């Protein structure tokens, strides 16, 4: 029965992808870059000016009260979803389909996206709500409802996030785990899928607080292991790294292979794949990280906006770049037969032998599994926004488990294309919303900077901003 249901869903997804993916991305590429530039300019390059402050806020943010999260825990939960398959498999896919130049466009997407991430996570803090147990919930669905007074648009966003993170992205994570473990240990996808379902169920029925606890301890450790391996490899080839970087820049502006769509030859495959995989990896402006940002307890909304902005930098500028250079330093990254995680594993085999294949399979298993639970945390918050009833949440959890298994047994093309399509819908809704709410972001940033200049620890007093207070449902949080 599950096999028949999976086949039916696969057929439906294929039809949707064939008809919607291209037009959606024609729109998304303009909005994504346009909004990023809009916030970069209007905030006066916040990603550069307040970068030191973002590091300080992440490490020294005040401890959580009750069941809320510390800034570091919220950062780690967001990083659990960001740092994962996108940094390893996604980068490889971008290079395989778009060439070296795709890496440059991932950098561009991340740099200008840092300002979008700052804006959306700051808004998530302002419009969050507090549950009876003292924990906080928020995100685009909440700031759209309160800030824009549009319940319909908020529900549309919540549904798009649920499909993107609860279903599509978790299918991608599971699919990448299966491919990596099959290459390394010849594990069968059906059995890996069943084990993933069991392990995922053990976590998601334990609540978001457990997710944050696991993420804050596991994510830094596995990211460190992966970066150590990358540094060792880069050190082995330090003399040719400048050439690799030069080739990335050169290939970024080669338009011999057009991406198609209404842009035609104006958009190369390198640009399109770099933007798609960059967004998948760092999620800047997509509307996902604000769900984790809202769960933190901070004195000023801008504090958490800066923390999430830092997450985009770490994800793409550091982790993704390490993966890209590892691949580009190998001998056959242009092979037609090597794509996705297989390309990265082959690169590690070239550099450090068979150990690299097994090492990456183990690391990816941890990365992808943490991403699955991080993705679930985002989706659960939006499920509760639509209907906060136990039976509804349980039904959603069972659906998540089904798609974890679905991704384990279906082809990579199906799950990646599914993710691209729903991701575009989600990003469009959120980016439009944060532009409409941009005056609030500017006021909060000025308030934060003013207090910094006065030598104070920034603390938001909502009574000083009655025009914001009248929109916020639970303004008592900021008294």
Residue 277 vs residue 389, higher pLDDT: 389
Mean pLDDT over 251-269 rounds to: 55
Q: CA angle, corner 477, sides to 450 and 468, nearest 5?
A: 55
Question: Ramachandran region of residue 353, left (φ > 0), alpha (ψ -120 to 50) or beta?
Answer: left
The string over 139-171, giving b where at least 16 C-beta atoms fall within 10 Å of a residue's C-beta and e elsewhere, is bbbbbbbbbeeeeebbbbbbbbbbbbbbbbbbb
- pLDDT(357) > 60: yes
In tens, the pLDDT along 413-428 reads 889 889 988 999 999 9
Handedness of CA 73, 210, 129, 35 (dihedral sign): positive
Mean pLDDT over 71-97 rounds to: 72
- What angle do helix axes 208-236 and 189-204 make, rounded to 10 degrees? 130
**Which helix or strand (DSSP H or E) is residue 181 part of?**
helix 170-185
Closest of 176, 12, 31, 4 to residue 90, by C-alpha: 176
In tens, the pLDDT along 20-74 reads 777 888 788 889 889 999 999 999 999 999 999 998 888 776 544 555 566 676 6
Find how far residue 274's CA is from the centre of its chain. 14
The DSSP 8-state label assigned to residue 136 in this structure reads E
Give burial (CB, 10 Å; 0-12/13-18/19+) of 240. exposed
Half-sphere exposure of 160 (CA within 13 A, CB side): 22
Mean pLDDT over 225-251 rounds to: 88
- Is the Cβ–Cβ distance between 378 and 292 less than 8 Å? yes
Residue 32 vs residue 227, higher pLDDT: 32
In tens, the pLDDT along 140-162 reads 999 999 999 999 999 999 999 99
Q: Taking the CB of residue 200, how many other CB atoms lie within 10 A of it?
A: 22
- pLDDT(128) > 60: yes
- pLDDT(78) > 70: no
pLDDT of residue 475: 74
d(CA 164, CA 174): 14
Percent of the chain with pLDDT over 70: 85
Q: What integer best gives the mean pLDDT of the chain?
A: 84
- pLDDT(436) > 80: yes
Closest of 21, 123, 63, 112 to residue 297, by C-alpha: 63
Question: How does residue 262 score in pLDDT terms, banded at 50, 70 and 90?
Answer: very low
Question: How does residue 82 score in pLDDT terms, banded at 50, 70 and 90?
Answer: low
Mean pLDDT over 368-377 rounds to: 82
pLDDT of residue 256: 47
Mean pLDDT over 195-221 rounds to: 72
């Amino acid at each position: 029965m599950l096999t028949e249901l999976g086949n039916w869903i696969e057929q439906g997804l294929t039809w949707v992808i064939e008809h919607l993916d291209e037009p959606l991305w024609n729109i998304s590429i303009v909005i994504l870059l346009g909004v990023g530039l809009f916030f970069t300019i209007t905030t006066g390059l916040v990603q550069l000016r307040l970068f030191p402050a973002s590091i300080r806020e992440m490490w020294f943010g005040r401890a959580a009260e009750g069941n809320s999260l510390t800034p570091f825990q919220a950062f780690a939960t967001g990083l659990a979803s960001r740092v994962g398959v996108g940094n390893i498999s996604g980068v490889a896919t971008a290079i395989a389909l778009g060439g070296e130049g795709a890496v440059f466009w991932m950098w561009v997407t991340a740099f200008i996206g840092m300002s979008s991430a700052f804006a959306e996570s700051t808004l998530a803090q302002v419009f969050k709500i507090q549950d009876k147990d003292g924990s906080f919930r928020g995100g685009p669905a909440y700031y759209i409802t309160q800030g824009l007074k549009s319940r319909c648009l908020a529900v549309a966003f919540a549904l798009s996030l649920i499909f993107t993170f609860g279903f599509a992205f978790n299918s991608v994570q599971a699919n990448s785990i299966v491919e990596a473990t099959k290459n390394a240990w010849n594990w069968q996808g059906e059995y890996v899928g069943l084990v993933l379902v069991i392990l995922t169920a053990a976590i998601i029925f334990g609540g978001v607080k457990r997710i944050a606890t696991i993420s804050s301890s596991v994510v830094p450790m596995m990211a460190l292991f992966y970066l150590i391996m990358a540094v060792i490899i880069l050190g082995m080839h330090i003399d040719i790294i400048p050439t690799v970087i030069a080739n990335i820049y050169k290939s970024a502006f080669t338009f011999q292979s057009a991406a198609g769509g209404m842009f035609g030859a104006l958009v190369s495959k390198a640009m399109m794949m770099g933007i798609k995989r960059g967004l998948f990896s760092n999620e800047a402006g997509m509307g996902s990280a604000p769900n984790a940002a809202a769960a933190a307890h901070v004195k000023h909304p801008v504090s958490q906006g800066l923390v999430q902005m830092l997450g985009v930098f770490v994800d793409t500028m550091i982790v993704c770049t390490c993966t890209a250079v590892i691949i580009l330093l190998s001998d056959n990254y242009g092979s037609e037969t090597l794509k996705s995680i297989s390309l990265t594993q082959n690169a590690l085999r070239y550099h450090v032998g068979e150990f690299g294949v097994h090492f990456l399979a183990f690391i990816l298993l941890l990365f992808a599994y943490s991403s699955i639970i991080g993705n679930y945390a985002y989706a659960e918050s939006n499920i509760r926004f639509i209907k906060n009833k136990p039976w509804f949440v349980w039904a959603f959890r069972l659906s998540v488990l089904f798609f974890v298994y679905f991704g384990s047994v279906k082809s990579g093309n199906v799950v990646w294309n599914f993710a691209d399509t729903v991701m575009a819908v989600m990003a469009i809704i959120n980016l439009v919303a944060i532009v409409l709410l941009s005056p609030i972001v500017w006021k909060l940033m000025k308030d934060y900077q003013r207090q910094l200049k006065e030598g104070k620890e920034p603390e938001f007093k909502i009574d000083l901003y009655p025009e914001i207070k009248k929109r916020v449902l639970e303004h008592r949080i900021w008294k």
